[in-house]
Amino acid sequence: MKYITHKPKLNDVRIWMTLSVLIVLPILVGNYFEPESPVLAVTTLLIVGFFILNLVIRKFLYFRAYFTSNYNLLTSKVRTEKEFGISKELMFEKLIEVIDDSKFTLIKANKKSYEILAISKISWLSWGENLYISFEDRGDESIMQFCSATLFQIYSWGKNEKNHNDLMKAIDSSLTV
């Protein structure tokens, strides 16, 4: 199995820039403007609106690139690849069964592009993650590509890794018939 992890590291300058903006900007705005100022209201509205927008678009496969992009610093993601030695058509059907029996919720399964979108439940640690699974043929092998991305948080508290491990365990145990 090949792991490609894209989660923020503390030595990444982009993380500190994002954190600075997220922490310093509200403080500056709060100090500079009066509590009744429309600027504060607009800023709050923008942040809440952006969060709600993310909540809505998370259920569309179309926005996969947005959530899984390396340039999206507001989401933490973990990517893996695994070869199962089973045709992608069969593995696609199998994975739908596995997700239906697991704690994840199946949102969309596109049989044409062999893409699956599932989400995990909201917990104290996260707003729930998006799980994007796709399949591709590479030579004689079919590869399952997995990506777990947070909804609106730059640190996943290990939830992405847990999702990955839980799904792999579920697939493994489902291979006992």
The answer to whether 1 contacts another protein (rule: CB under 8 A) is no
According to DSSP, the residues that pair with 2 across neighbouring strands are 81
Nearer to another protein, 97 or 136 (CB): 97
Smaller CB separation from another protein, 12 or 83: 83
| Nearest Cα to Cα of residue 119 among 37, 44, 61, 46 | 61
Radius of gyration for the chain, computed over Cα atoms and rounded to the nearest angstrom:
19
Query: Taking CB under 8 A as the criterion, which residues in 70-99 touch another protein?
Result: 84-86, 90, 93-94, 97
- Is 101 one of the binding residues for another protein (CB under 8 A)? no
Q: How far is the CB of 142 from another protein (least distance, A)?
A: 11
Q: What does the block give as tokens for 163?
A: 């999702």
Does residue number 12 form part of the binding site for another protein (CB under 8 A)? no
Q: Does 6 bind another protein (CB under 8 A)?
A: no
Residue 167 and residue 159 in contact, taking contact as beta carbons nearer than 8 Å: no
Encoding tokens for residue 99?
A: 């997700």
Strand partners, 144: 82, 135
- Within positions 148 to 167, which residues make up the interface with another protein, using CB under 8 A? none
CB of 153 to another protein, least distance (A): 35
Of 101, 162, 100, 167, nearest to 133 (Cα)? Answer: 167
Which residue, 35 or 85, has its beta carbon nearer to another protein? 85
Size, binding site for another protein by CB under 8 A: 12
| Torsion sign across C-alpha atoms 167, 72, 126, 107 | negative
DSSP SS3 for 84:
coil
Under the rule (CB under 8 A), what is the footprint of another protein? 84-86, 90, 93-94, 97, 172, 174-177
